[in-house]
Amino acid sequence: MPTRTGPPFTVATPRPLPAEREGDHWILEAAGKQVKLTNLPKVYWPEQGYTKGDLLAYYFNVADAILPHLAGRTLTLKRMPDGIAGTTPYPRGTPSSFFERHPPKNTPDWVPRCVVPGEGGTLAENLMAGDVASLLFVANLGCIDMHPSHARCARYDEPDWMVFDLDPMPPSGFAEAAAVGRHVRAALDSLGLKGYPKTSGATGVQIFVPVAPGHTYEQTRGVAGAIARLIVAADPDGATLEWDTTQRGGK
């Protein structure tokens, strides 16, 4: 049950969100831009009771860390305006989340866009987030996940990084994913490439690899696929490229 009456924030953050209430909503001012924020008390994480306000405060607090990774790249938003457990009435129980890439109609003109060629000679506008205001604007849409493009807008078809996504399936966990990550590092070493690992979700690992300018997605996909197949061949019990998630148990 969405609440409009509960507290807007339930988690203390180093820098509280400096949003001022204005009638039924809030206004955040950042670098002269006014961002309208709505429904802060709405519970987005029912299990923990975390609110949309908590989400916005989170993105405000990590802005300095996250913005360098978003700026100049188109974003695919994963929007969950009814929280992480929201569902649609029909079909019954279907998650009410959805993806969005184009600026919705109410997007302020100061939110940056990337114009890219679309289907059949058309042009499409894609969202970007370049500063605190645009970051908080997309977060207010109920966007919990943000997926930045592997390529910068200026060279939208030339990725400047590739990623190895290691998702352990029970009973495998983080340790097993890290072990596969070491295989990835060995392969990258032999190619003179450097990978930057990070945790992902509860038990996963992702390894980001900078790619020199001038390469296509087809090329990076080919390299990543070749490395992945080598690892599966070397460690068939520890790694799989199985596409069907129900078929990749234990790896």
**Residue indicated by tokens 């978003």:** 70
Nearer to DNA, 94 or 199 (CB): 94
Amino acid at 199: T
In 3-state terms, what secondary structure has residue 178? helix
Q: How far is the CB of 15 from DNA (least distance, A)?
A: 22
Dihedrals phi, psi of 150, to nearest 5 degrees: -70, -15
5 binds, among DNA, Mn ion, none (CB under 5 to 8 A by kind): none
In 3-state terms, what secondary structure has residue 46? coil
Site string for DNA, 114-143 (x = CB under 7 A): ----x-----x---------------xxx-
Tokens of 187: 């392969």
Site string for Mn ion, 156-175 (x = CB under 5 A): ---------x-x--------
Q: Rule CB under 5 A: which of 185-204 touch Mn ion?
A: 200, 204
Among 151, 15, 18, 136, smallest CA distance to 66 is for: 136
Q: How far is the CB of 242 from DNA (least distance, A)?
A: 9
Nearer to DNA, 142 or 168 (CB): 142
Among 200, 205, 198, 201, smallest CA distance to 178 is for: 205
Contact 129, 33 (CB under 8 A): no
Q: Which residues partner with 43 through β-bridges?
A: 51
Under rule CB under 7 A, how many of the chain's residues touch DNA? 34
Q: Rule CB under 7 A: which of 54-73 touch DNA?
A: none
Nearer to DNA, 64 or 109 (CB): 109
Question: Does the protein bind DNA through residue 163 (CB under 7 A)?
Answer: no
d(CA 93, CA 229): 37
Q: Which residues partner with 158 through β-bridges?
A: none
Give the footprint of DNA on this chain (CB under 7 A).
Answer: 36, 38-39, 42, 52, 76, 79, 81-83, 89-90, 96, 98-102, 104-106, 118, 124, 140-142, 217, 221, 225, 241, 243-246
